[in-house]
Amino acid sequence: MLVYRITGKKYASDLTGIGAAIFGGRWNKKGSPVLYTGENKEIALLETIVHTPSSLIPALDIITLEIPDDSITTLKITNIPKNWAVYPAPVILSEIGERWIKEGKTIALKVPSCIIHSSHIYILNCRHPEYSRVRLIDQRNFKFDSRLKK
């Protein structure tokens, strides 16, 4: 399966999850290296936009990763807390993510996107013993349309 990530050019080739480990996220706590990706380029872009101040759009790259189809855990909206999409994220979500990381059963956790609930993001466990199965397929410049900053 292919997943996508749009990130600053400086960090595009870093697949270690160090940024998420430093800052934590909706589905991980500080100290847990994961990589947030999208099921398509469009959701990857929206996820980037909501996390980037409009006055600070860096040079971006888009990367395409291949993840193993046989190593994905799926969380459906019906199986997560009703307040999962609020901001700031409820602590229970990072606890759910941490449980998944510690169990180590799969490389990827598929969860609904807070931006478009019918789309999904894939969180990759960078410490999974089989993380080397994740392959960087493509990396290229991403042209950001400045109209999106409005």
Q: How far apart are CA 92 and CA 83, in angstroms?
A: 10
129, pLDDT greater than 70? yes
Its pTM stands at: 0.93
* Element (DSSP H or E) covering residue 6: strand 2-8
- Domain extent, residue 28, equals 2-144
H-helix segments, the chain: 18-23, 41-50, 91-103
Cβ(109)–Cβ(27) below 8 Å: yes
Residue 150 is assigned to a structural domain of this protein: no
Each residue of 1-27: pLDDT tens digit? 999 999 989 999 999 999 999 999 999
Cβ neighbours of 120 (radius 10 Å): 19
**Region 144-148 average pLDDT:** 77
**Domain assignment of residue 149, yes or no:** no
Residue 139 lies in a domain: yes
Q: What confidence tens digit (pLDDT) does each residue in 48-58 have?
A: 888 777 666 77
Other C-beta atoms within 10 Å of 83: how many?
10
* 79 in a structural domain: yes
Number of structural domains (the chain) is: 1
